[in-house]
Each structure stands twice: as structure tokens, then as C-alpha cells.
Amino acid sequence: MEYSDIITFWEKKNIKDSGDLDAAINGQAVTLAYHSTKIEEPSVTFHDTREIFEHGRVTGYSGEVKTLFALQNAKRAWELFLNSFDEKLPLNEALVKKFHYVLTVGTYDERRFLHGERPGEYKKGDYVTGLHEVGALPEDVDEEMNELLEDMKDIPDEKALRAAAFFHAKFENIHPFADGNGRCGRLLMNYFLAQHDHPLITIHEEDRAAYMHALESWDEKQELEPLESFLREQTIKTWSDRAGKSR
């Protein structure tokens, strides 16, 4: 299965609203949320994620409360995703902060919370994000995020993947929030893709090392190709089975 086959498969769905999008995803939201959460929270299970998404609760849960909150937040964030898609809300600062709040409320790193950091608010302190990076200085986050969001305007659909790679690389490099940047960045990237008629991408937790390496290529050398190639491969991995069955 080639990347171009996946794009053709998706475009044939002719997605116009959240109902079309939810039907096209057909349960993939659970998988997306599971992998994105597990990259940050290793104790997450697919069973618990599915129970939260399908029933709103987990019976006999014995894990950490923070993990359960993270899964409940992931479900609420998906609902926000669909509603925002329906309303055609632009990818702007207000939406970025809203997604971050929904994804991280009740799960914030306790030490950072005590230092005044809050869900839905840009960071007030510096936090290491990679081998050689600490992200943007707190006083520069507003300007750098505004520049990034301005860069994401008027992107043609055929350039959506490269633009999404650029957004994700820059977002993680800026590290605008004190916590939850990975989960937020992945979901915002997919929101951008959905708005540009591109299939959503599950970044699989078993490919975490390759994913982090691709992000580091931007941090250290401003090379975008490794992340773009990785996202292309993950698109195929996410959709090849379903696209194949539709033939």
C-alpha cells in the first residue's frame, strides 16, 4: 500500500462535517488516543481507553488516578475536536489553549502546578524538551506561537503533510506549555490535517524512538524531512488495512 493510495481512499469519503469524519474514523479515535496517551503514560492500556471512550468509565480499575483522568480528558478532547471541525474553527491561539486545557486538566505535573503553571496557559518557567533544547523562553512563547500559527494559514491541501510536520516540529520545539505538549501537539496536528482533507495519523507508541529521533532532527539541524517521512509511514501504518479492504 502506497501513501498515495491512502490519500485517494480518504478523499473518496468526501468528508464535510463531524458526522462524516466520525464515520470515516470508525473507531480509530480510540486507537489514536491510546497511542498518544501511552507515549507519555506507559501504564495506559487499550482496554481502559476503549472502556472510557465507549462507556465513559472503567470497571475494576486499579491503576493511577492521573492515568484515568488523562483518558477521560482524551475522550473530551476528541469531542472538542469534532465540534470544532463542525464549526470550522481556525487553528488559532484560543483553540490551541482550549485543546490543551481539555487534555491536561486534573493531570498537571504537581511540582509545576505549585509553581503557578496551569492547563490552558502558556508556561511561566523553562523546561527541558530535548537533548540540547529547553524550548522558547516564557517571555517569547506568545510571539513564537503567533508566528507559527500565522505560518499555518492558507496552506493548500496537497501540502498538508509537510505543513503538519512543520507545525508539529515547531510546536514541540517551542514547548509552549509546562506540561502536556506532546499530547496537545499531536492532536492539533491531526486537527490541521482533518481541515485539509488528509487522513488523521496515529503515531504508534511502539515507534516512539523513531518519532523522537525525527523531532530531534528538527531541534538540532532544522531538518524537516525525517519527521515528514515518519508521518508518511505512520499514515500508511494507520490506514493500510482499511484502505485495502475498501478496494
Q: Which residues contact 91 (CB under 8 A, 6 or more apart)?
A: 149, 152, 188, 191, 192, 195
Count of domains forming the chain: 1
Helix 160-174, helix 225-245: angle, nearest 10:
130
Q: Which of 182, 39, 25, 55 is nearest to 47 (CA)?
A: 55
Structural domain that includes position 215: 3-245
| Residue 52 belongs to domain with CATH number | 1.10.3290.10
Q: From first to last of its 247 residues, what are the pLDDT tens digits of the chain?
A: 899 999 999 999 999 999 999 999 988 999 999 999 999 989 999 999 999 999 998 887 777 888 899 999 999 999 999 999 999 999 999 999 999 999 999 988 888 888 899 999 999 987 666 555 668 999 999 999 999 999 999 999 999 999 999 999 999 999 999 999 999 999 999 999 999 999 999 999 999 999 999 999 999 999 999 999 999 999 999 999 887 776 6
